[in-house]
Structure 1
Amino acid sequence: MAVHSRHPVSAPPTAPARETTGHLLLRAWCVFVIAASMAGTSWLMAFGAIGSAVVVVATGVVSAVLWVSIRPRVQWRRLPWFALAYVAWAVASLLWSNWLGATELTLLLLVSTTLQAMFVGAVFTWREILRAVASALKWMLALSLLFELWVALIWRGDILPGFVRPDASYDGHPITLWSRDNLFTGGRLQGIFGNANPLAYIALLAIIVFVIRLASGAPRKLLLVLWTALAAFLFWRAASATALLCAVAVAVVLITILLMRTARRPGERTRFYVMYVIVAGLGGAAVWFARDTVFDLLGRSPDLTGRQRIWDAVGERIGERPFLGWGYSTPWVPSDPAFDGWIVDHGVSVMQAHNMWLDVALQLGFVGVVLIALALLAFVWRSWFFAVDRPRWDLVADRPYTALTLLPSLVATILLVQGLAESAPLLNWGWFLIILFAFKIKQAPLVGRGPAEQRLDAEQGDLLAEGNGDDRRP
């Protein structure tokens, strides 16, 4: 016989779980750290060398204090050891550096970037990292657009670093300008970076991150679509030939990964790998043998806008110290006598070799090249299988893929292609993301699984904020 009762049998209602104020502040700080690494030359343009140094030191100290106070769980045996060995070799170059002052200054940036990337990876889950990177990219895009609007509507004219207006007698090359006031004239936009190429790379990275967020079931999809459209607009207006090649490479890698994910038997992947090698080889050969035509279509010279002259000069210097190099300095410090006037482009001392491998060979010799090659190989290897392998931690072998796992491989693609014409992967956001993803993949090779990921999920409310929408989509 049924018994009626006034007492409810269900659990009493409770307030929804919310993130603590402390974690919200931590997230805001990590977004600032990521954005600061992406800003790169923007700090120099706005505040000069001293202001930039203050930002590097201050952010490093605050992150170190937070790391000590929070004490996130870290598996110390599972660190990106090859990348850390490269950093250690760069520090060791203090013993033989030919430009000691530049080495000391740039090592501060390298060590700070490395530690802060590991800090973000230690206190955030994979989903939190994706959200934080997306937030930082939104700041970069919004500030770049607002800056160009301010220059066009209020400043009305060219602007030099430090918010200086060039006078009528200024005869410097446009490369020295922070902004050329091109928003409404159809010219290339430079954003807050003072250079169109970094803006293009940031815009390309933003497109990738925003699309992954959309595929992961993130909330406020319409806003994400608008942010993606803004990123595409800035990518188009930056008009960077190298960034366009990066975009093509990203598309090829993405298609390959998606094909790999359709494989049901081990032998199927072998065919895809063979096809990928053939297509990549033929594509690379076609670009090389038809480089004059390709670069004419891109509006660039076959030597990538004078880079051949820089490579020749760097190659000569490498031949003098091939094993140990001349000492770490990424970027080159133009105020140092060793770099001041060594290679001049449009009246400005060049600050990089415009090739990642040549830059490492110049600074750290053959040993440095081997270490950075091993670091990148390990990063690419783990990123690739992080993307193509199904998440599996028990006997269930048919769990759906997650869109988030595409991010490290696509970022690696951008950096490897960019590294052929720029040294940017060795510093700022390039090195930050290499360390961040290499560290996180080793600490948490499965999204949302493992003691650290699940503990952070519970603390941060990830499972509540976005659910496991990322796990429901292939």
Structure 2
Amino acid sequence: MPANAHAPTAAAVRGSRRPLLPALGTWAFFLTFSGQGVRNLVGWWAFGLIAAVSGIVLLLVFLHEGHRVPWRALPPVTTAYVGLCALSVIWSQYPGDTALAALLMLATSAAGVLLACGLSLRQLTDALSRALEATLVLSLLLEAWVALVLRHPLIPLYMRDWEEVPISYYWVNGDLFNGGPIQGIVGNRNPLAFIALLTLLCVAVRWADRRVSPLGLVTWTAVSLLVLVLTGSATVSVAFVICGAVCLVLWLVRRVPPRFRPAVLITAVSAGVALIAAAIGLHSQVTAVLGRSSDMSGRWEIWQRVLELWEDHTILGWGWIMYWVPWLPVFATLVVRPDGTPTMSAHNAYIEALFQTGVVGATLVVVLVLLLLVRSFRLALRNIDSDASVLLPALLMTALTVQSFTESRLLSEGNWVVVCALGTWLGLHRLYEHSRDDDRAGSPDGGPAAEHPAPVHAPALLTLTHSDAP
């Protein structure tokens, strides 16, 4: 029996009803990217219940709709890092908190894997785009309500009984009509700005695939740019410029004749390296242009103190904790903000990994980012003449990589779900290509084998779930 004989049956079963997984994918992305907003609304315990139920429903629907997880497609480096975080409970300096953080890491990782195995790249793009768009709209509505109706800063609802709420814990300050900065439903301008950037990338790719109307393109571009301006995030401003440059290069590669493409790529890479070197050499001037201090808003101090702590546990780190919890003594006074509250992350994904999981974990994270960058750009360049959806992984990884140098969010919540989804989808695509090559090699004339019908051409995977692939 052909290896892919089950595919038509599975497809027919799914075709008899409207699949729920795409909608659950939208909810999963919304819950992980906008989790702070949900927590501010219902509290931590209720959020935990919502997240647990959502994860169980996602798994049940995934299985009910006939999908499966090909274990060979799981990205080994990502799996190794998740395993290291879970195992760190053994040597953790705060084992109870590490156990909880490890469960959260396993849950978000599983969500990314299930979405990659159950949705096509187009469906992933649509689910992510809708979740981010909803976050932007709700953020602007909340900001408008606070500014026009409430007329004073809004605190998280579960803090209503607190005698005093520190300024940095405020949910929304109500500065929408004062030019910002705004925090939106996520309660922080930096992640909100990053969400706006990811929305722009998704909308641009969907428009290039002719899956967004001109009105939709204008609307979501305007909303995203408005949020970018009102948040005023320096990191995201840099990421916006770099992602724009990458979009321009990929557009040029698609437009020029194939014989000129290597020259375009070499020129682009050379210019990029030169600009990065210049930015490093002119660090003070660049931060001044961005309206930030030369110590990157206090990040140098945070990094120095974290690295001093890391020296006590260099190989395996202090133990996985995700966000720094303020009730642990080591974090309560590590870096205190002006309002007296403790800082909750290292503001650098690699230093964070080094501190929490040691040299072993930091090495895995660096390798993971490099592999995803190489594989996503290779996918884009090899299929540059096909649907624009193949460009999205490269664009997302560009944005995530830039942000990872000044934020730790690469390793948690929505960003980590995207990392796991991209890594798994690229692994599935690689399995598909190997299967196609094996089928061709097994045929007498080098063409498709007679006994094993040839799989669909690679770009077709953009519109099929991987459960339909061999």
| Equivalent in 302, 308, 311 of residue 316 of structure 1 | 308
Alpha carbons 2:324, 2:331 under 8 Å: kept: yes
2:89 is aligned with 1:77: no
2:408 is aligned with 1:423: yes
2:420 is aligned with 1:435: yes
Q: Which residue does 1:256 correspond to in 2?
A: 249
How far 1:138 moved relative to its partner?
Answer: 1.6
TM-score by length of 2: 0.85
Hey, what's the Cα distance between the residues in 2 that align with 1:171 and 1:61? 35
Hey, what's the Cα distance between the residues in 2 that align with 1:55 and 1:246? 32
2:132 is aligned with 1:137: yes
How far 1:248 moved relative to its partner?
Answer: 1.3
Alpha carbons 1:324, 1:364 under 8 Å: kept: yes
CA deviations on 1:35-61 (whole Å, 9 max, x unpaired) are: 111113223322332233223322222
| Equivalent in 49, 57, 61 of residue 56 of structure 2 | 61
How far 1:94 moved relative to its partner?
Answer: 1.0
| Equivalent in 380, 387, 407 of residue 387 of structure 1 | 380
Q: Any unmatched runs of 5+ in structure 1?
A: 1-16, 392-399, 458-474
How far 1:93 moved relative to its partner?
Answer: 0.6
Change (3 A) 1:275 1:47: same
Hey, what's the Cα distance between the residues in 2 that align with 1:181 and 1:221? 32
Change (3 A) 1:447 1:133: farther
Q: Which residue does 2:166 correspond to in 1?
A: 172
Alpha carbons 1:448, 1:454 under 8 Å: kept: no
Deviates more, 1:444-453 or 1:295-304: 444-453
Change (3 A) 1:48 1:165: closer
Q: How many correspondences in the alignment?
A: 430
SS at match of 2:328: coil
Hey, what's the Cα distance between the residues in 1 that align with 2:116 and 2:236? 27
Hey, what's the Cα distance between the residues in 1 that align with 2:402 and 2:308? 24
Hey, what's the Cα distance between the residues in 2 that align with 1:261 and 1:455? 30
CA deviations on 1:85-108 (whole Å, 9 max, x unpaired) are: 110111111110011122112112
- Matches of residues 195-274 of structure 1 in structure 2 within 5 Å? 195-261=188-254, 270-274=262-266
Hey, what's the Cα distance between the residues in 2 that align with 1:403 and 1:453? 17
Hey, what's the Cα distance between the residues in 1 that align with 2:165 and 2:466? 59
Q: Which residue does 2:367 correspond to in 1?
A: 374
How far 1:261 moved relative to its partner?
Answer: 4.0
CA deviations on 1:364-411 (whole Å, 9 max, x unpaired) are: 1111011112222221111011111137xxxxxxxx332111111111
Change (3 A) 1:27 1:306: same
How far 1:294 moved relative to its partner?
Answer: 1.8
Change (3 A) 1:164 1:324: closer
Q: Which residue does 1:94 correspond to in 2?
A: 89
Q: Which residue does 1:275 correspond to in 2?
A: 267
CA deviations on 1:237-261 (whole Å, 9 max, x unpaired) are: 1110000011111122223333444
| Equivalent in 155, 159, 162 of residue 160 of structure 1 | 155
Hey, what's the Cα distance between the residues in 1 that align with 2:465 and 2:172? 43
2:36 is aligned with 1:41: yes
Hey, what's the Cα distance between the residues in 2 that align with 1:382 and 1:100? 36
Hey, what's the Cα distance between the residues in 2 that align with 1:427 and 1:79? 18
Alpha carbons 2:376, 2:426 under 8 Å: kept: yes
Q: Which residue does 1:447 correspond to in 2?
A: 459
Letter of the 2:289 partner, please give it.
L
CA deviations on 1:97-131 (whole Å, 9 max, x unpaired) are: 01112211211221111111111112211221111
Letter of the 1:172 partner, please give it.
P
Letter of the 1:320 partner, please give it.
D
2:327 is aligned with 1:335: yes
How far 1:217 moved relative to its partner?
Answer: 0.6
SS at match of 2:54: helix
2:108 is aligned with 1:113: yes
Q: Which residue does 1:11 correspond to in 2?
A: none
Letter of the 1:197 partner, please give it.
N
Alpha carbons 2:346, 2:408 under 8 Å: kept: yes
CA deviations on 1:163-211 (whole Å, 9 max, x unpaired) are: 76799x96833x2211110011222111001111011000011011111
Alpha carbons 2:67, 2:467 under 8 Å: kept: no
How far 1:34 moved relative to its partner?
Answer: 1.2
How far 1:430 moved relative to its partner?
Answer: 0.9
Hey, what's the Cα distance between the residues in 1 that align with 2:165 and 2:21? 47
SS at match of 1:95: coil
Hey, what's the Cα distance between the residues in 2 that align with 1:27 and 1:139? 15
Q: Which residue does 2:440 correspond to in 1?
A: none
Change (3 A) 1:171 1:340: closer
Alpha carbons 1:130, 1:209 under 8 Å: kept: yes
Deviates more, 1:230-239 or 1:442-451: 442-451
Q: Note the aligned Cα RMSD (angstroms).
A: 2.6
Letter of the 1:181 partner, please give it.
G
Hey, what's the Cα distance between the residues in 2 that align with 1:78 and 1:193? 33
Change (3 A) 1:450 1:160: closer
Q: Which residue does 1:362 correspond to in 2?
A: 355
Larger radius of gyration: 1
Change (3 A) 1:132 1:97: same
Alpha carbons 2:209, 2:389 under 8 Å: kept: yes
Letter of the 1:407 partner, please give it.
L
Hey, what's the Cα distance between the residues in 1 that align with 2:269 and 2:402? 16
Letter of the 2:119 partner, please give it.
F
Q: Which residue does 1:301 correspond to in 2?
A: 293
Hey, what's the Cα distance between the residues in 2 that align with 1:277 and 1:449? 29
Hey, what's the Cα distance between the residues in 2 that align with 1:32 and 1:100? 31
Hey, what's the Cα distance between the residues in 1 that align with 2:138 and 2:255? 40
Q: Any unmatched runs of 5+ in structure 2?
A: 1-11, 431-457
Alpha carbons 1:123, 1:456 under 8 Å: kept: no
How far 1:352 moved relative to its partner?
Answer: 0.7
TM-score by length of 1: 0.84
SS at match of 2:73: coil
| Equivalent in 311, 318, 326 of residue 326 of structure 1 | 318
SS at match of 1:184: helix
Hey, what's the Cα distance between the residues in 2 that align with 1:76 and 1:451? 22
Alpha carbons 2:193, 2:227 under 8 Å: kept: yes
